[in-house]
């Protein structure tokens, strides 16, 4: 990717007036940023994403009525929002997500039959809800999530065979369920989680090699396990947590350099420790994995708290 970027920079430098070469350059920056982010090199990722945004803003300014150029800017704001959220900057993430959503809303109002833009609206509202949730603004987060759910439901109903839209619907169901659980509506939350499980379990069976769908399934199982544990259904909770842990172990083993999947495995261990027969052993392994992520520079700032959390949990566990 670095070699490809160097070539594209040279070409774009020779012909700066060619917008197509400039756009190709932004794609290379995004690819490099994505790899850096997956490896936990967040400074490098942010620098690449911001350079991509700088170029896209210049291209969009030249053609303000070009929907593709405007959407490119929206995508850049969105990815920067994701990175800021990962860096424990919810205010910065919220600002970036809203910049992205503002553009999508304008584009969608001009072309209401464009399903790609309708999906962008749903995803954009979900991202805004995520940042609001990080700030513990539960009413505003729930409102954003419900808006996203309404948009995702409309798309999924229009084409039940579209797996992307079905996945979006499952995510939206879980987002609303998560806030309901925090607000104390466990019954309502569990219903939505089970609705989501029906979708993601079907998707995961359709394509067992799809890591995104497998990860979705593991997350849903974990949430179901949490609610069942709170309802004192220990047997049901243990089954859900074990199934989630099994999926995350497979993902982590398939790509040891993927910091997100390694962290997912730690979280699954923490969840499982609540009902494990030997919780100290589970927590000890989770702590060692977290320390290794930190030593290798792959533990993002917003997850640094996990070290002390695990140390304290281990100290209290017999």
Which one, of 30, 31, 86, lies nearest residue 56 by Cα? 30
- The predicted pLDDT at position 242 comes to 98
3-state secondary structure of 1: coil
Tell the residue number behind the tokens 């439901």, with chain if given.
153
Residue 288's CATH number: 1.25.40
Confidence band, pLDDT 50/70/90 cuts, at residue 18? confident
43 & 19 share domain: yes
Angstrom distance (rounded) from CA 140 to CA 145: 9
Has residue 271 been placed in a domain? yes
- Domain assignment of residue 139, given as a range: 121-188
What is the percent of the chain where pLDDT is above 70?
95
- The predicted pLDDT at position 40 comes to 84
For the four alpha carbons of 242, 247, 250 and 255, in that order, the dihedral sign comes to negative
Taking 80 as the threshold, does the pLDDT of residue 265 lie above it? yes
Tell me: the pLDDT tens digits for 107-128?
999 999 999 999 999 999 999 9
What is the percent of the chain where pLDDT is above 90?
86
Confidence band, pLDDT 50/70/90 cuts, at residue 301? confident
Has residue 46 been placed in a domain? yes
- The predicted pLDDT at position 96 comes to 99
Average pLDDT over residues 13-30: 78
Cα radius of gyration rounded to whole Å, the chain? 21
Tell the residue number behind the tokens 């954009």, with chain if given.
124
Cβ atoms of 259 and 300 within 8 Å: the answer is: yes
Distances (CA, A) of 78 to 30, 102, 103: 12, 11, 11
- The predicted pLDDT at position 9 comes to 58
259 & 290 share domain: yes
Which one, of 164, 56, 177, 70, lies nearest residue 119 by Cα? 164
Tell the residue number behind the tokens 């039940």, with chain if given.
160
Tell me: the pLDDT tens digits for 215-246?
999 999 999 999 999 999 999 999 999 999 99
141 & 238 share domain: no
Has residue 247 been placed in a domain? yes
Has residue 195 been placed in a domain? no
- The predicted pLDDT at position 15 comes to 58
8 & 54 share domain: yes
Angstrom distance (rounded) from CA 188 to CA 204: 24
Average pLDDT over residues 193-206: 96
Contacts of 253 (CB under 8 A, 6+ apart): none
Residue 23's CATH number: 1.25.40.10
On average, the pLDDT of the chain sits at 93
- The predicted pLDDT at position 217 comes to 97
Q: Which helix (H) or strand (E) holds 40?
A: none
Torsion of CA 248, 254, 260, 265, to 10 degrees: 30
- The predicted pLDDT at position 39 comes to 85
Q: What is the 3-state secondary structure (H, E, C) of 120-165?
A: HHHHHHHHHHHHHHHCCCHHHHHHHHHHHHHHHHHHHHHCCCCHHH
103 & 7 share domain: yes
* Count: domains in the chain: 3
- The predicted pLDDT at position 259 comes to 92
Confidence band, pLDDT 50/70/90 cuts, at residue 7? low
Give this prediction's pTM: 0.79
Tell me: the pLDDT tens digits for 43-57?
999 999 999 999 999
Angstrom distance (rounded) from CA 142 to CA 176: 6
Q: How many residues are given for the chain? A: 318
Has residue 292 been placed in a domain? yes
Average pLDDT over residues 279-284: 97
- The predicted pLDDT at position 17 comes to 65
Q: What are phi and psi of 290, to 5 degrees?
A: -65, -40
Residue 146's CATH number: 1.20.58
Angstrom distance (rounded) from CA 114 to CA 126: 19
Which one, of 73, 104, 106, 100, lies nearest residue 85 by Cα? 100
- The better pLDDT of the pair 11, 164 is held by 164
Contacts of 254 (CB under 8 A, 6+ apart): 211, 261
């Amino acid at each position: 990717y670095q070699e490809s970027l160097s070539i594209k920079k040279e070409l774009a430098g020779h012909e700066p007036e060619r917008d197509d070469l400039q756009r190709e350059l932004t794609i290379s920056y995004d690819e490099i940023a994505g790899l850096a982010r997956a490896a936990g090199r967040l400074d490098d990722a942010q620098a690449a994403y911001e350079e991509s945004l700088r170029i896209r803003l210049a291209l969009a300014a030249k053609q303000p009525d070009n929907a593709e150029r405007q959407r490119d800017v929206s995508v850049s704001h969105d990815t920067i929002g994701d990175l800021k959220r990962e860096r424990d900057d919810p205010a910065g993430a919220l600002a970036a997500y809203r910049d992205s959503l503002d553009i999508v809303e304008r584009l969608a109002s001009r072309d209401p039959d464009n399903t790609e833009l309708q999906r962008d609206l749903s995803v954009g509202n979900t991202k805004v809800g995520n940042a609001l949730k990080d700030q513990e603004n539960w009413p505003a987060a729930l409102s954003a999530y419900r808006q996203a759910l309404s948009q995702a439901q409309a798309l999924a109903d229009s084409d039940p065979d579209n797996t992307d839209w079905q996945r979006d619907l499952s995510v939206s169901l879980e987002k609303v369920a998560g806030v309901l659980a925090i607000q104390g509506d466990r019954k309502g939350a569990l219903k939505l989680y089970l609705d989501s499980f029906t979708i993601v379990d079907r998707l995961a069976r359709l394509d067992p090699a799809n890591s995104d769908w497998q990860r979705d399934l593991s997350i849903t199982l974990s949430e179901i396990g949490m609610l069942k544990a709170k309802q004192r259904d220990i047997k049901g909770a243990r089954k859900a947590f074990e199934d989630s842990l099994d999926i995350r172990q497979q993902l982590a083993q398939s790509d040891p350099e993927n910091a997100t999947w390694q962290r997912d495995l730690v979280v699954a261990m923490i969840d499982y420790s609540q009902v494990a027969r030997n919780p100290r052993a589970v927590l000890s392994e989770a702590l060692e994995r977290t320390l290794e992520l930190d030593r290798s520079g792959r533990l993002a700032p917003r997850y640094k708290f996990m070290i002390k959390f695990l140390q304290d949990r281990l100290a209290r566990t017999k």
